[in-house]
Amino acid sequence: MTPAEIARGYLGAFSSADPEAVAAWVTDDFVNEHTAALGSGCAGRDEYLRRLPGFLASMPGLVYEVEDVICEGQKVAAAYTLRATVNDRPIAVRGLMRFEIRGQQIARRVDYWDSLVFQRQAGLAN
């Protein structure tokens, strides 16, 4: 698989709502970084896998619709629209993830999204 296919496969795995299916795409020493105020990063596949069930449960129907993928060597940037239901409200939040690929897995992910847009759509802020 190419690095771009790995990034697309990882993002596609979220629609399964299966933590193991998502975590299968990352390395044991995976680093998950968020730039948004509401985001919470972590290090290590085990910690990521521990957190995934709660995240997936909080976002029923989660899907990342990939808008564009840019790849340079082992680095990938994927622009997306995250769609899910939160507080019985449909949400659609645009963002971008940067990936560093090692072998056939993701070693690092940096996620950029607007947490205020998310809060407003979820009915958590005005």
- DSSP, collapsed to helix, strand or coil, labels residue 37 as coil
Q: Is residue 68 part of a domain?
A: yes
Q: Is residue 93 part of a domain?
A: yes
Residues spanned by the domain of 88: 3-121
Split into its structural domains, the chain has a count of: 1
CATH code of the domain containing 61: 3.10.450.50
Q: Is residue 102 part of a domain?
A: yes
| pLDDT band with cut points at 50, 70 and 90 for residue 85 | very high
**Whole-number pLDDT of residue 126:** 79
**Whole-number pLDDT of residue 115:** 87
Closest CA to 59 of 93, 32, 8: 93
Residue 68, pLDDT > 90, answer: yes
Q: Is residue 126 part of a domain?
A: no
